[in-house]
Amino acid sequence: MSPIWFVLTATVLAAALLTDRFLTAPNLVAVLQQGVITGLVALGMTIVLIGGQFDLSTGATVMTAAVVSLLLGPSTTGGVVLAIIVPLLIGSAIGWLNGILVYRFGANSIVASIGMQFFLTGAVLALVSGQHVRAEGIHPVFTALALWRPLGIPLPVFIFVILVALLGMMMSSTRLGRHIYAIGGDAEAARRAGVALVRTGTLTFVLAGVLSALAGVLIAAMVGVIDPTAVARYEFPALTAAVLGGTSLLGGVGRPADTAAAILIVSIITNVMTILDYPFSHQLMVQGFVLAGAVAFYAWVRDREGD
């Protein structure tokens, strides 16, 4: 059991002690809902990191998917299907390109995916000429993606939980999962042992692309209007969560469920600080200290185990 679950328990206890408005049903639902978007991005990021690479284009992928989804105008039933499928296809195409660049051409993944981020933000802004995107007469089925609440819990939360479970099983008990850990541990050794390096590695990026695009579609369904100039930097909180959950930046180590726990911690902290009226700037600082503390902690553990 990863130490992150104890931290999560402690965070919940501290939050409950700090404000009595925390442990109420509507607020807990809000905490979960808040975590889902970053959580989807963080899940994809975790898998790419386990494979030993970085994907910093995920935030731009979220925005691209959200804008495309709204541009397709989900006002008819057919439109709704398109507004869901097309962004996911675009997300997987972006991931595939990243994967090919990194695993076939041997490009540094940090710089390549930052390049992709620049390209995507530029392309999306050019596509909409820097204007807000607003879809008229959105079909209720599309809005239901975000707003339908079976058992009082929003649908995106269910989607997230199911994906965490599926990806967790994929990583822990399928051959594909073992291969991803293997290439992250030692790419050359894995290749010599018969792992299809390019195919497996590219797949991690495709997964990150699809998950980010899904996050974008959910945003589109939630708000119905997007300001593409307000570039949301989802990749940084997502990276924070993955690292907080114990995913190694050197590859080969990490678990989707631990990332999910870290996402909960980050959104509980944000939630409590919002309830207690701390401005965004303070939340940013706390995020930074949490990230620094987490990496320092894992470095300390690693050193102790190493000696």
Instruction: Tell whether residue 289 is a contact of other proteins (CB under 8 A).
Output: yes
Instruction: Tell whether residue 307 is a contact of other proteins (CB under 8 A).
Output: no
The DSSP call for residue 90 is: H
Q: Please report which helix (H) or strand (E) contains residue 225, including its range.
A: strand 225-226
- What is the smallest separation between the CB atom of 192 and other proteins, expressed in angstroms? 14
Contact map string, positions 204 to 243, toward other proteins, x by CB under 8 A: --------------------------------x--x---x
56 close to 237: Cβ distance less than 8 angstroms: no
Q: Please report which helix (H) or strand (E) contains residue 31, including its range.
A: helix 25-50
Nearer to other proteins, 11 or 283 (CB): 283
| Total site size for other proteins, rule CB under 8 A | 45
Q: For residue 251, give the 3-state DSSP assignment.
A: coil
Instruction: Tell whether residue 282 is a contact of other proteins (CB under 8 A).
Output: yes
Cα–Cα dist 103/204, whole Å? 11
Nearer to other proteins, 14 or 123 (CB): 123
CB under 8 A: which stretch of 42-50, 81-89, 136-144, 283-291 binds other proteins? 283-291
What does the block give as tokens for 121? 């933000």
Residues facing residue 134 across a β-bridge: 225
Among 137, 150, 152, 279, binds other proteins (CB under 8 A): 279
Neighbour count for residue 293 (Cβ, 10 Å)? 11
Instruction: Tell whether residue 304 is a contact of other proteins (CB under 8 A).
Output: no
179 close to 195: Cβ distance less than 8 angstroms: yes
Residues 253-272 that bind other proteins (CB under 8 A): none
Cα–Cα dist 38/283, whole Å? 16
Nearer to other proteins, 173 or 281 (CB): 281
CB under 8 A: which stretch of 29-37, 84-92, 174-182, 282-290 binds other proteins? 282-290
Nearer to other proteins, 243 or 268 (CB): 243
Among 5, 77, 162, 280, binds other proteins (CB under 8 A): 280
Sign of CA dihedral 70, 73, 74, 75: positive
CA angle 141, 146, 149 (to 5 degrees): 90
Residues 109-128 that bind other proteins (CB under 8 A): 110-112, 114-123, 125-126
Q: Where do the H-state alpha helices sit in 139-279?
A: 140-147, 155-173, 175-185, 187-192, 197-223, 235-244, 256-275
Neighbour count for residue 289 (Cβ, 10 Å)? 10
CB under 8 A: which stretch of 22-30, 72-80, 264-272, 294-302 binds other proteins? 294-302
128 close to 70: Cβ distance less than 8 angstroms: no
Instruction: Tell whether residue 176 is a contact of other proteins (CB under 8 A).
Output: no
- The length of the chain in residues reads 307
Query: Which residues sit at the interface with other proteins, rule CB under 8 A?
Result: 54, 101, 105-108, 110-112, 114-123, 125-126, 130, 236, 239, 243, 249-250, 279-289, 291-292, 295-296, 299-300, 303
